[in-house]
Amino acid sequence: MDIQDIDRVRLINLINTRRKERGLSAVKLAEALGLSPRTVIMILQGTRLPSATVLAQLLQIVEISEDEIPRITQPMPRPAGKHIFISYSHRDSAYLDRLMVHLKPLQRQGLIDPWVDTKLLAGEKWKKEIEKALKNARVAVLLISADFLASDFIVENELPPLLHNAEEKGTLIIPVILKSCRFTRDKNLREFQSINSPDEPLSLADENERELIYDTIAQRIEDVMGK
């Protein structure tokens, strides 16, 4: 199944409508698909992308035909290239480190070229390097917490060009909620679908749940870069 031109938001809404009509809980779907309930819940929330095989199975279970799958008629063009910009507060560096572990296979394959400020070398004109990385970003991962939102540099220098490029160039913005914060009350950021629910930040998740979220981020990036 070609999933590249599917309107995922509309499809998830349709799947949830059908499963409720048929009395199918997330637990029942998990059993039918051979997945964990947590994974199925993330799929139903639209925060985890199923593989083409799993999606085909899911559509069959909830009785959605190929003709009913909503398609994107005019997809927004994405910037070319392999550049990933990761925006984070240094207070949250432990989360960044684990994310980079999950992104390493994609980097090794040459699929992505991630940029974080740890790549800055002594003597470099750091502001120009950051501006260049922001301009070239095809995907931006935002590791959001109260510290992230409190950072004057992030709010004044990183977010404006990223949000502008998302609007004008189709740069993909992937918010990740690290800790409870005012994400849903931020008029600019709340427009973007976060990988995990703001009510379920990474700080409250157990190790398995955190790993699943990191893998979901990597999967989302891999899906975009593979187009």
pLDDT given for residue 84 in this prediction: 94
pLDDT given for residue 37 in this prediction: 87
Does residue 64 contact residue 14 with C-beta atoms inside 8 Å? yes
Burial 19-47 (b: 16+ CB within 10 A, else e): beeeebebeebbeebebeeebbbbbbeeb
d(Cα 215, Cα 210) in Å, to the nearest integer?
A: 9
pLDDT given for residue 81 in this prediction: 79
User: How many Cα atoms within 13 Å fall on the side-chain side of residue 108?
Assistant: 6
pLDDT given for residue 78 in this prediction: 60
pLDDT given for residue 126 in this prediction: 61
pLDDT given for residue 218 in this prediction: 93
CA-based diameter of the chain, in Å?
A: 63
- In which region does residue 123 sit, left (phi positive, over 0), alpha (psi from -120 to 50) or beta (all else)? left
**Per residue of the chain (227 residues), what is the pLDDT tens digit?**
555 567 777 888 899 999 999 999 999 999 999 988 888 888 888 777 677 788 889 999 999 998 898 887 655 556 667 899 999 999 999 999 999 999 999 999 999 999 888 655 444 566 677 777 788 889 999 999 999 999 998 998 899 999 888 888 888 899 999 999 999 999 889 888 888 888 889 999 999 989 989 998 998 898 888 75
Domains and CATH numbers, the chain: 8-68 (1.10.260.40), 83-225 (3.40.50.10140)
Place of tokens 């981020």: 217
Does residue 24 contact residue 62 with C-beta atoms inside 8 Å? yes
